[in-house]
Structure 1
Amino acid sequence: MFHLILTACLAGSAGTCAPVLLPAGYAADLAGCESGAGQIASGWLSRHDDLAGRGTDCVATDDLPALELHKIAPGLFVFQGDPVQLEDSGDGRIANLGVVIGGASVAVIDSGVSRAQGQELYAAIRRLTDKPVSHVILTHAHPDHVLGTAVFQEAGATVIGHRALPLALELRAGSYLDSMDALFPPEQMLGTGIVLPDATVDDVLEIDLGARRLTLTAAPTAHTDSDLTVFDHASATLFSGDLIFRLLTPILDGSLSGWLQWLDTPPDPAPRRIVPGHGPVAATWAEAVGPQTRFLRALEHATRARILAGQPMSQAVPEIVHAMQDMAAGWNAFDASVARDATAAYKELEWQ
C-alpha cells in the first residue's frame, strides 16, 4: 500500500517545512497514489491558509515513520508515552495512546500531541492492518491527548468524546495551540489543529468494531470536566485516560472531590488490565489507583488544614507543597505539579 505525502511549509517561511500524510491518497499501488496526488494536495492546502505546498511523494507503508506500538492483548496495542510533563519533554509525546482492532474496523483511543504524532500512529496501524479506522475516542480535552486527531478524521473516522469536550476544546483551542507552538519546534507542530467531536457521550455509549465491543462511559467532573473511559470487552481492558496517572504526578483540572469519588468506585466488570493516561499498564485496580489515591487524599487533607487555619491561598499553597513532600517518591515533575494542584484544590475546597 502507498500513502500520499505532501511537503508543507509555513507560508512566508520557506525553511520551515514538514511531511504531511494525506489519508485521501491511500492506494493499493504507486500509480493509484500518484494519479490523484495533485488534486488531493491542493484541496487540503485550500483548507490551511497558513501553509504552502512544496511537492508530493508516494511512500510505501513500511517506509513511513511509525510509532512503536506494544501488543498487550490480542488485537490491542498501546503507545507508551514518556511519563513527564510537556515542559520536560522534547516532543510532547507523553500520553499513552491505544489501538483496538476489531473484526471489521479499528478504534483509536487518544491521538497524541500533534498531527505529526497522529500520522505516525496512523502509519503504525497501517503496518498492522488495512481495516478502516472507524472511531477516534478522545478521553479528555488536554492537548497531549487530542491534537493528532485530524489525520484520522480525514481518513473517515468518527471522533467521539465526553459531552463537555466540544466546549472545553473551543474555549482552550487558542491557548493549547499557542502553548504547544511555544514548547516545540515548528516542524513538529506544522499542520496541527483542534478537531471537535462528531459525536458525544452523555452517559454510556456502545461501539461495535465487528465481533469486538467497546463501552464508553462519561465520568463526572474529576481530573477534568470531560473525562471518558473505554472498556474493551474482548480483553477486559480499561483505558482510563488521565483519570489514572502512574509515575507522572497527577494534575487536577476538574474537581478533587469528584476525582476521589471516582477512584473509590472500582469498575464493574473488573478489568484484567488498566491502561492509564500516563505510565505503565497495571494488572489490577489497586495497583493502578493506589498511589494516586493516597496522593490525592494527602492533597485534600493538607488543603483543608490550611483552609481551616484561615490562611489565604497565597500563604497556603507553599505550605501545602511542603506538607506533601513525603509523597514525592515515585512521582515525576512533583514540585511544579503539586503547586498547581494545591492552587486548584484550595479554590475548590474553600467553598465547601
Structure 2
Amino acid sequence: MFHLILTACLAAAPDDCAPRLLPAGDAPDAAGCEARAEPIARDWIARHPDLRAREGHCVPTGALPALNVTEIADDVYFHQGVMDQISPGNRGRIANLAFVIGDTVAVIDAGGSQAEGEALYAAIRRVTDRPISHLILTHMHPDHILGAEVFSEAGATITANARLPEALARRADAWMVSIPAQIGRPAFAGTRVVAPDRLVAAPATIALGPTQLQLVPVPSAHTDNDLTVQDSRSGVFFAGDLVFRGLTPSLDGRLDGWLDWTRAGPPQPVPSLIVPGHGPVTEIWADAVTPEQTYLTGLRDATQRAIRGGMALSRAIPAITAMMQPYSEGWADFDATTARNAATAYSQLEWE
C-alpha cells in the first residue's frame, strides 16, 4: 500500500513544517496514490487554515514513521506511552493506545496529536490492510483523543461516552492553546478536536466479525465520561485511565466514584489481561487496581484531615501533598499531580 504525505507548514511560522499523512490518499500502488494526491491535499489544507501546503509525495507503508506495538493477544496490539507528563521531549505521547483486528479494525484511543495518530495509523497498516471501522475513545483527556481526525479521515466511526462532548466543549479551546505550548507547535501541527459520531449512554457492543467489543460507560470516576472496552475473543480489558500504573493517577471526575470503581472487582467475564491508560499491562486485577486504590484512599484521608483542621485551600494543597509523601514510591510526576488532585478532592469533600 502507498500513502500520501503532505509537507505542511504553519501559516504563522512558514519555516516550521512537518509531514502529515492523509489516509484518504491510500492506494494499492504509487501511481494510484499520485493520481489522487492533488485534490486530496487541497481539500485537507482547506480544513486546516492555520497550515500551508509545501509539497506532497507518496511512500510505501514501510517508509512511514510508526509507533512500536506489541501483540499482547491474538490480533490485539498495544502501544505503551511514556510514563510522564507531556513535554517537548515526549511530544505528548504518554497514553497507552491499542487496536483489535477482526473482519475490520477497531482502535482504542488515538494519541495526543495528529502526528501520534498518524504514527498509530502507520503501525496498524504495517500489520493489516483491513478497513479501520471504529475508533473508541476511553475518555476526554487530550493525550488519548487528539489523534482522532486521522481515523475519522480513514473512515472510522468515533465512539465515546455520551458525556464526552460536553466535557470537550468546556476544555477544547484551552487545550488548543496550552498543548502546543507544552509539546512544541511543529509536533502539534494539524491537530484538531473531532467530535464523536456515536455516543454510548448504556452498555453496548461493537461487532468485528469473529469477536465483539463490549463497551461500558462508567459513572463519574477518573473523569465523568470514562468508557471501558473488553474484547470477547481474547478477554483483554481496556480500562483507559480508570487504571494508572506507574504514572500518578490524575483526578478529573469524582474521588468517591473512582474509589467505588476500584472496589467493585473485575468485570465479568474476568479479564485475561488488563490494559491501563498508562503503564504496563497485567494479568492480575489486584496488581492493576490496588496501588491506585491505596493512593486514592490516602488522598481522601489526607484531604479530610486538612479540612477538619480548618485549612483554607491555599494551605491545604501543600499540606495534603506533604501528607501524601508516604505513598509516593513507584509513581512518576507525583508532587505536581498530587497537588492538582488535592485541589479537586478538597472541592469535593469540604462540604461533607
Please say whether Structure 1 and Structure 2 have the same fold, judged by a TM-score greater than 0.5: yes
Which segment is superposed worse, 123-132 or 7-16? 7-16
> In the TM superposition, what is the alpha-carbon distance from 1:88 to its structure 2 partner?
8.0
Opposite residue 134 of structure 1, the aligned amino acid is S
**With structure 2 as the length reference, what TM-score do the two structures score?**
0.98
CA distance in 2, matches of 1:242, 1:88: 22
* Percent sequence identity over aligned pairs: 52
Match of 2:107 in 1: 108
Residue-by-residue CA offset, 1:149-176 (whole Å, 9 max, x unaligned):
0010001000011111111112211111
> Could you say which residue in structure 1 is the equivalent of 2:238?
239
Corresponding residue for residue 186 of structure 1: 185
Give 1:12 deviation, angstroms.
Answer: 4.1
Partner of 1:3: 3
Task: Tell me the equivalent position of 2:80.
Answer: 80
Partner of 2:175: 176
User: Which residue is 2:217 aligned to?
Assistant: 218
Cα-to-partner distance string for 1:231-269 (whole Å, 9 max, x where unaligned): 111111110110010000001111000000111112122
Correspondence 1:1-352 to 2 at 5 A: 1-87=1-87, 89-102=89-102, 104-266=103-265, 267-352=267-352
Q: Deviations over 1:211-244 (max 9, x none)?
A: 1100011000001111111011111111011001
Q: What root-mean-square deviation, in Å, do the aligned CA atoms of Structure 1 and Structure 2 show?
A: 1.0
Change (3 A) 1:65 1:87: closer
| Corresponding letter in the other structure for 1:130 | D
Tell me, in whole angstroms, the C-alpha distance in 2 between the residues paired with 1:113 and 1:316: 32
Q: How has the CA–CA distance of structure 1 residues 87 and 349 changed in structure 2, closer, same or farther, with 3 Å as cutoff?
A: farther
**Unmatched 5+ stretches in structure 1:** none
Q: Which moved more, 1:278-287 or 1:309-318?
A: 309-318
Amino acid at match of 1:90: N
Aligned amino acid, residue 46 of structure 2? S
CA change 1:199–1:72 in 2 (3 A) is same
Paired residue type of 2:49: D
Distance 2:88 2:158 in 1: 29
Q: How far has the Cα of 1:90 moved from its partner?
A: 2.9
1:197-224 superposed Cα distances (whole Å, 9 cap, x missing partner): 0011101110001111000110000011
Instruction: Give the drift of 1:314.
Output: 1.8
TM-score by length of structure 1 reads 0.98
1:246 maps to amino acid: R
Change (3 A) 1:137 1:76: same
Displacement of 1:274 in angstroms is 0.4
CA distance in 1, matches of 2:30, 2:88: 41
Q: Matched residue of 1:316: which SS? A: helix
1:261-320, Cα deviation, whole Å (9 max, x unpaired): 111112122111100000000111101001000000111111112212222222222221
Amino acid at match of 1:3: H
